[in-house]
Amino acid sequence: MDIRIENLTKKYGGQRAVDQISFEVKTGEIVGFLGPNGAGKTTTMRMITSFITPTEGSISIGGKLLEDHADEIKKHIGYLPENNPLYPDIPVIDYLEYVAGLQGIPKDEIFPRVIEMIRITGLNPEKHKKIGELSKGFRQRVGLAQAMIHDPEILLMDEPTSGLDPNQIVEIRQLIRELGRHKTVILSTHILPEVEATCDRILIINRGKIVADGTSELLRKQASGAEILRVRIEDGEPNAIFKALQGLASTSQVGFVDGQKDRFEIQCHAGSNAAREVFQLCVQQKWILTEMIPFETKLEDIFRKLTTN
């Protein structure tokens, strides 16, 4: 099911927690929802799940307005909130059977579905323990299992790998990728490498507004605007190399890398091809070019640039 958000706003008194945002998420798409604390991520997710009501704007899911078909649409949504609400005194398997019943799964299908969720989320060794006896990582797995127990078409996950060890994180990422082939997934997280490893597209929200929307490659391209090269040039006097690089038509700025006298970072004018000019310069001056690396803008740098203004 597709999600369509149009001019969505949520006000708390005079404050706009979410401010006129619009975006779409298609079936089979995994979207990473990024933003600093208080940016509006959780508020947006709660409005999509119908937990809170928007002040303005609309949410359409599967072509139907949420405000008109909330009870029907909620059956197709699985939600893992940031603070995983679980009952600590109930054994895992009993809790999942209880949740399955709440989600309207027929009685004869509940136990097989619970066993399937236990298998998928790796809970088998802990299935008879009380939830309060589990580690934080396994409690998170219980939360994932309850969000998926009714096989929803839409999954909203707020920090799904919080508290998991590195091996568990890899397993959950693989699970999310697999689920994303057939479902609509919105994933909120502060772990930027997780977004790149898991998501097809990235939305960045800051102060209630969407400030970026695209693939990680597109965001890098938009953020950098111009090529950055790191080169290593030997058999030449460092200051002479520095001045020669500054004099290239394609170069806007040159600097030494980490104080090393034979390594330079070159920022180029947009649309120019500095690599060819650097190579030709080294040939003319009989310098040895031993390294030339296009410098990739980090997602972390993009995030900071868009959310610290």
Q: What is the CATH number of the domain that holds 49?
A: 3.40.50.300
Q: Which tokens belong to 249?
A: 């038509």
Do 256 and 110 share a domain, yes or no?
A: no
Q: What is the pLDDT of residues 56-77, one digit of tens each?
A: 999 999 999 999 999 999 999 9
- 247 and 270 share a domain? yes
Confidence of residue 296 (pLDDT cuts 50, 70, 90): low
What pLDDT, on a 0 to 100 scale, did the predictor assign at position 304? 79
Q: What is the pLDDT of residue 228?
A: 79
Residue 163 located in a structural domain: yes
Domain shared by 143 and 252, yes or no? no
Domain boundary among 166, 200, 221: 221
63 and 37 in one domain? yes
Q: Could you tell me if 211 and 229 lie in one domain?
A: no
What is the structure's pLDDT at 24?
A: 94
Question: Could you read off the pLDDT of 142-180 as tens digits, one per residue?
Answer: 998 999 999 999 999 988 877 777 777 887 888 888 888
* 236 shares its domain with 217: no
- For residue 84, being part of any structural domain is answered with yes
Task: State mean pLDDT over 293-299.
Answer: 72
pLDDT at res. 152:
93
Residue 80 included in any domain: yes
205 shares a domain with 236:
no
| Per-residue pLDDT tens digits for 214-231 | 887 777 766 655 577 889
**Model confidence at 309: pLDDT above 70:** no
Q: Is residue 309 part of a domain?
A: no
Q: What pLDDT does 65 receive?
A: 95
Beta strand pairing call for 201-206 and 30-34:
parallel
Of the three residues 221, 239, 261, the one that is the final residue of a domain is 221
Cα gap 105→220, rounded to integer Å: 44
Which has more pLDDT, 215 or 285?
A: 285
Q: Are residues 176 and 236 in the same domain?
A: no
Total domain count, the chain = 2
> 261 and 192 in one domain?
no
Share of the chain above pLDDT 90, in %: 59
pLDDT at 222: 67
Could you tell me if residue 248 is inside a domain? yes
Q: What is the reported pLDDT for 224?
A: 59
Structural domain range at position 137: 3-221
Residues 174, 282: one domain? no
Distance (Å, rounded) from C-alpha 278 to C-alpha 281?
A: 5
Q: Which of 41-45, 251-255, 297-301 has the highest mean pLDDT?
A: 41-45
Question: Does residue 297 form part of some domain?
Answer: yes
pLDDT interval class at 94 (50, 70, 90) = very high
Residue 258: the pLDDT is 77
The interaxial angle of helices 136-148 and 107-120, nearest 10 deg, is 140
CATH code of residue 292: 3.30.70.920
Q: Which percentage of the chain shows pLDDT scores above 70?
A: 95
Q: What values do phi and psi take at 177, rounded to 5?
A: -60, -40
If you average pLDDT over every residue of the chain, what do you get?
88
Same structural domain, 179 and 238? no
- For the CA atoms of 217, 219, 225, 231, the dihedral, rounded to the nearest 10 degrees, stands at -50
Q: Which of 221, 250, 279 corresponds to the end of one domain?
A: 221
Asked if residue 283 and residue 142 are part of one domain, the reply reads no
In a domain, 89, yes or no: yes
**Alpha helix ranges (H) inside 89-215:** 92-102, 107-120, 136-148, 166-179, 192-198
**Taking the model in full, what pTM does it have?**
0.74
- Sheet strand arrangement including 260-268: 251-257, 260-268, 228-234, 288-294
